[in-house]
Amino acid sequence: MPYLFTSESVSEGHPDKVADQISDAILDEYLRQDPAAKVACETLVTTDFALVAGEIKSTAHVDAEPIIREVIRRIGYNKPEYLFNADTCEVMNRLHEQSPDINQGVVRATAEEQGAGDQGMMFGYATNETANYMPLALDLSHRLLRELSAIRKEGREMTYLRPDAKSQVTIRYADDNTPEAIETIVVSTQHDEFDADEATMLRRIEQDVKTILIPRVKAQLDANTQALFTDSIIHHINPTGKFVIGGPHGDSGLTGRKIIVDTYGGKGAHGGGAFSGKDSSKVDRSAAYAARHIAKNLVAAGVADQVLVQVAYAIGVAEPVGVFVTTYGTTKATSGTGDKLTDGQIAKKVQRLFDLRPYAIVQRLGLQNPIFAESAAYGHMGREAGTKQVQMPDGSTKTVETFTWEKLDYVDRIKAEFGL
C-alpha cells in the first residue's frame, strides 16, 4: 500500500540557522589561522542581540564581533525594521579556554592515535532515489529555500521577501519504495508589510510561490523528478497568515537545533550530536561526515540501493568501538557462492576499506581547513564537492576542497573489494 514521507528545511535566515552560521564562521577563522585549533562555539541570537560562548584551544587570535556582524549582514538582516540588524545589534563574547581534562583525552604522543573528542554514535545515509544520493523530500525542501533565497537576493521578483522561511515536502511512495508523486508542499516565508489587506497579501504570495518559485526549482531537476509535480499537489503557503515578524526577533535561535534538517530529513537515523561550531576532533561532526562518505560511495558503487552506516566511539580512544551497516534488504553485492552479502559482511569490508580513526578521517577529508561556513545552511549532506580560495595569515592564497565527504572517490575501490 502506498505511504507518505515528509521532510522539512529552514532558510539561512531562520534563527537557529543564523546561530549555526555564526558558530561555523568563527570556527573557520580559527582554522584559517591555526589548523590545529580545538573549537566548540555555541551561539544564541534574539532581538537585536547575539551571544557566542564555548571553549577554545588555539594559537589564533580571533575578534569574534566583526565576524558575527558580517554573517548577519550577508544573510540579509540589515534593516532596522527587522529588529535584528547587523550594524546595531548587541554582541557578547564568552568564548574561553578549553578544559585540559578534555584536551588530554584527545591529544596523543603520535597524531595517528588521536583519541575521539567524545563518546557517541554517528550515522551516515545514502539512497539512489536522487542524483545526489539524498532522500527526495529533503532534497526538494532544501531546493525550495535555496531558490527562494536566490530570488530574494536578486531583488527583481517577490521583492517583499525577508530572510526567514521554512519549507516542507511530502512524497507519496509506492509499495516498492519508489516515489510516485509529491503529495504536499508547504512554504512559509517572512515578508514585508503589505499595503493590501491580509487576504490579498496571501493570494499574492501563494501565486508567486506557484508561478515563480516552484517552476525555478523544477527547472533544476531531471525529467523523472519533474513528473512528480502533478496538478493534484496540495499547497500550503503561509498557512498561518501574516508573517512579518520573524528571524531572531520572532524566535530566539541556538546552535545545533536543526540536526535533522542538517542531515537526512528523518530518513536513516541520527546519533543526536550537532555539527556547527565544532572542529573535526569532535567526532559528532567528523565521523558523521565519514559515515556519509562511506554510505554514498557504497550506493554509487552499486552495493545496495540505500545504506545506513553507524560508527561509534569512546572518548579518548582512536579506534571506533563499533561499525554497523544496514542496507534495508536492498543489497546487490554477492559472495563467491552467489549468495547476497549480509550487512555484517558488508560492514567488515567497510572496515578494511576505510580507516575510521579520527586522525585518518580528518586527513582523508581535509577537515582542518576552513570549509565549514558553507555547510551551516541548507544541509551538510548532499552538497556539491568543490574548491574555494582562502586568504592565509601570511598573505598567500590557498585552494581548499569543500564538501569532501560528498566525493565519489572510493567507488572504484569498493567495486574491486565487492567484485562489482
- pLDDT tens, residue by residue, 319-348: 999 999 999 999 999 987 878 999 999 999
CA dist., res. 149 & res. 78, Å (int): 15
* % residues pLDDT > 70 (the chain): 96
For 312-327, write each residue's pLDDT tens digit. 999 988 899 999 999 9
Q: Where are the domains of the chain?
A: 3-11+136-250, 16-103, 120-127+256-273+280-418
Burial class (CB in 10 A: 0-12, 13-18, 19+), 315: middle
Given the DSSP bridges, would you call strands 397-402 and 386-391 parallel, antiparallel or unpaired?
antiparallel
Summarize the annotated binding site for L-methionine as residue ranges.
55, 98, 251, 282
Of 271, 254, 260, 225, the closest CA to residue 380 belongs to: 260
Residue 304 · residue 330 · CB < 8 Å: yes
Q: What is the DSSP string of 305-350?
A: SEEEEEEEE-BT-SS-SEEEEE-TT-B--B-TTSPBPPHHHHHHHH
| Topology of the domain comprising 120-127+256-273+280-418 | GMP Synthetase; Chain A, domain 3 (3.30.300)
| Topology of the domain comprising 16-103 | GMP Synthetase; Chain A, domain 3 (3.30.300)
For 9-36, write each residue's pLDDT tens digit. 999 999 999 999 999 999 999 999 999 9
Residue 279 · residue 149 · CB < 8 Å: no
**The pLDDT value given to residue 197:** 87
Given the DSSP bridges, would you call strands 306-313 and 253-254 parallel, antiparallel or unpaired?
unpaired
Determine the length of the chain.
420
Residue 404 · residue 280 · CB < 8 Å: no
Domain spanning 3-11+136-250: CATH 3.30.300.10: yes
Q: Could you count the other beta carbons within 10 Å of the beta carbon of residue 199? A: 9
| Residue range 305-312: mean pLDDT, rounded | 98
Summarize the annotated binding site for ATP as residue ranges.
14, 164-166, 242-243, 251, 257-258, 274, 278
Residue 135 has pLDDT above 90, yes or no: yes
Strand, coil or helix: what is 28?
Answer: helix
Q: Which three cell numbers stand for residue 26?
A: 568563527
Residue 289 has pLDDT above 60, yes or no: yes
Q: Which three cell numbers stand for residue 360?
A: 585518518
Binned at pLDDT 50, 70 and 90, residue 107 comes out as low
Of 146, 135, 136, 300, the closest CA to residue 225 belongs to: 136
Summarize the annotated binding site for Mg(2+) as residue ranges.
16
- How many angstroms separate the first and last alpha carbons of the chain? 33
| Residue range 138-167: mean pLDDT, rounded | 97
Q: Which three cell numbers stand for residue 132?
A: 545526489
Summarize the annotated binding site as residue ranges.
14, 16, 42, 55, 98, 164-166, 242-243, 251, 257-258, 274, 278, 282
Residue 159 · residue 321 · CB < 8 Å: no
